[in-house]
Amino acid sequence: MKLYNTLSKQKEEFVPLEEGKVKMYVCGPTVYNFIHIGNARPMIVFDTVRRYFEYKGYDVNYVSNFTDVDDKIIKKANEEGVTSNEISKRYIAECKKDMDGMNIEPATKNPLATEEIGGMIDMIKTLIDKGYAYEKNGTVYYSTRKFKDYGKLSHKNLDDLRSGERSLLVSGEDEKEDPLDFVLWKPKKEGEPSWASPWSDGRPGWHIECSEMSKKYLGEQIDIHAGGEDLVFPHHENEIAQSEAANGVEFAKYWMHNAFLNIDNRKMSKSLGNFRTVREISEQYDLQVLRFFMLSAHYRSPLNFSADLMEASKNGLERIVNAADNLKFLSKNAANEKMTEEEVNIFAQTDVFVKDFERAMEDDFNTADAIAAVFDLVKFANSNTGSESSKEYLGKLFELLVKLTDVLGLIVDKKEDMLDEEIEKLIEERQAARKAKDFARADEIRDELLEKGIILKDTREGVQWKRA
């Protein structure tokens, strides 16, 4: 399996540190708002990478943090007159809902920066002891020039470097010994959340958070560290400097970075204000469509968000789901159980689609080509099945389709049956709507249930329901 390593600027063969295992860390969002679809790109991309490793039989330890202490969170908390903790808890919960809708497998661990401060303080102490960091008036800085490999990830020359745009500005910034030095610990300002440390009551810098959380949950050396390409410099470069100086071993073997999701050919970001939240998209589309859209391009190519591409993705996904539905329908009505000799031979031809799919994924996770292989299988299934097909044959085609789409995190086996409690919840909501004279909503719920085959009957005793 080959993947592109930002460190070497080449596609490299993947060799795990420990046989059969993959340890990966993906930088997660700063939680001060609903996530936007740009944030969703690394989530979907690296979840798919994980799923492919799992398909290949690897045991994947997948860690992705939430940055829950940050200037932007504090600002939002002040605007609303609530605590930072309330803001971050709220948006972590909302983010998890979105991730669920996008069918992101839950991480092995989602560490929170605020729960790992002790470990960060220990790491900073180690860096000071080893001569890689120094304190000035309560602020601790990393001595960038002391780390001889600085710049190896972003391929930047130390002397050409300027501090990155995301470097933390703190009071006393001018006390740095070198403009390239960055903050490991900073003293609190009035009204900010803070923790006691040997240097000051304060909080950690952003970069040290990931170095510590990765070490704690995955160990000093990991296989893959990933995130969006804006994180290469300074965030990941600084993480390397911290982790390798503190631990004395290579931090991550492979560094993977997704390209940006753009809108009108400009980067989508919270600061530019041109973003669309995942939640907004979910009002218009099933989030499976968003997932399909993201995977329809290679993760290292910029992707431009547009209504047309979303419609094309919706249609593409529908084609696959329809094929799966068709196989299920035929199977329900199939006359024969066992595969005929001829069917065995026909089914053997699907091997080529599996090979194409795997070849695409093993070439640096080319999901666009992998989707093309799924479409070939869909076409094949549509034209090589009919009312005379056996149950076993249809079942095998269906299973194969589910197996491949599952690697992409696309759900084609829709469980249509609603659970009783889901139905009852909707009925309750409908009653409440009627009480509030919101008849439009009440009718909408009735129609929604009808579409799922649930028939309501209003009686004097209350609402009765049955499945059609």
Which residues bind to ligand AMP, rule: CB under 6 A?
27, 29-30, 38-39, 41-42, 227-228, 230-231, 258, 260-261, 267-269
Site for Zn ion in 400-459 (CB under 5 A): none
Q: How far is the CB of 70 from ligand AMP (least distance, A)?
A: 9
Tokens matching residue 255 = 């560094």
**Which residues is 22 bridged to in the sheet?**
60
Q: Is-contact 118 213, C-beta < 8 A?
A: no
d(CA 65, CA 88): 12
Q: Which stretch binds Zn ion (CB under 5 A): 19-27, 76-84, 86-94, 309-317?
A: 19-27
Site for Zn ion in 191-210 (CB under 5 A): 210
The answer to whether 226 contacts Zn ion (rule: CB under 5 A) is no
The answer to whether 27 contacts Zn ion (rule: CB under 5 A) is yes
Q: How far is the CB of 356 from ligand AMP (least distance, A)?
A: 27
Q: Nearer to ligand AMP by C-beta: 42 or 205?
A: 42
Tokens matching residue 15 = 């060799």
Q: How far is the CB of 416 from ligand AMP (least distance, A)?
A: 34
Q: Nearer to Zn ion by C-beta: 176 or 235?
A: 235
The answer to whether 24 contacts Zn ion (rule: CB under 5 A) is no
Q: How far is the CB of 268 from ligand AMP (least distance, A)?
A: 4
Tokens matching residue 410 = 């696309």
C-alpha distances out from residue 151 to 3, 146, 239, Å? 21, 12, 11
CB neighbour list of residue 216: distance below 8 Å, 6 or more residues apart: 111, 116, 119
Q: Nearer to ligand AMP by C-beta: 294 or 394?
A: 294
Shortest CA distance to 22 belongs to which of 214, 224, 221? 224
**Of these partners, Zn ion, ligand AMP, none, which one is at the site of residue 210 (CB under 5 to 8 Å by kind)?**
Zn ion
d(CA 52, CA 408): 8
d(CA 357, CA 353): 6
**Of these partners, Zn ion, ligand AMP, none, which one is at the site of residue 60 (CB under 5 to 8 Å by kind)?**
none
d(CA 338, CA 114): 58
Q: Is-contact 166 234, C-beta < 8 A?
A: yes
Q: How far is the CB of 301 from Zn ion (least distance, A)?
A: 23
Q: Is-contact 227 267, C-beta < 8 A?
A: no
**Of these partners, ligand AMP, Zn ion, none, which one is at the site of residue 267 (CB under 5 to 8 Å by kind)?**
ligand AMP
The answer to whether 213 contacts Zn ion (rule: CB under 5 A) is no
x/- letters, 151..190, toward Zn ion (CB under 5 A):
----------------------------------------
**Of these partners, Zn ion, ligand AMP, none, which one is at the site of residue 377 (CB under 5 to 8 Å by kind)?**
none
**Of these partners, Zn ion, ligand AMP, none, which one is at the site of residue 394 (CB under 5 to 8 Å by kind)?**
none
Q: Nearer to ligand AMP by C-beta: 22 or 40?
A: 40
Q: Nearer to ligand AMP by C-beta: 29 or 119?
A: 29
Q: Which stretch binds Zn ion (CB under 5 A): 25-33, 86-94, 331-339, 371-379?
A: 25-33
Where residue 453 falls (left for φ over 0; alpha for ψ -120 to 50; beta otherwise) is: left
Q: Nearer to ligand AMP by C-beta: 301 or 464?
A: 301
Shortest CA distance to 228 belongs to which of 66, 67, 29, 362? 29
**Of these partners, ligand AMP, Zn ion, none, which one is at the site of residue 260 (CB under 5 to 8 Å by kind)?**
ligand AMP
Where residue 57 falls (left for φ over 0; alpha for ψ -120 to 50; beta otherwise) is: left
Q: Is-contact 49 361, C-beta < 8 A?
A: no
Helix 367-383, helix 391-407: angle, nearest 10:
170
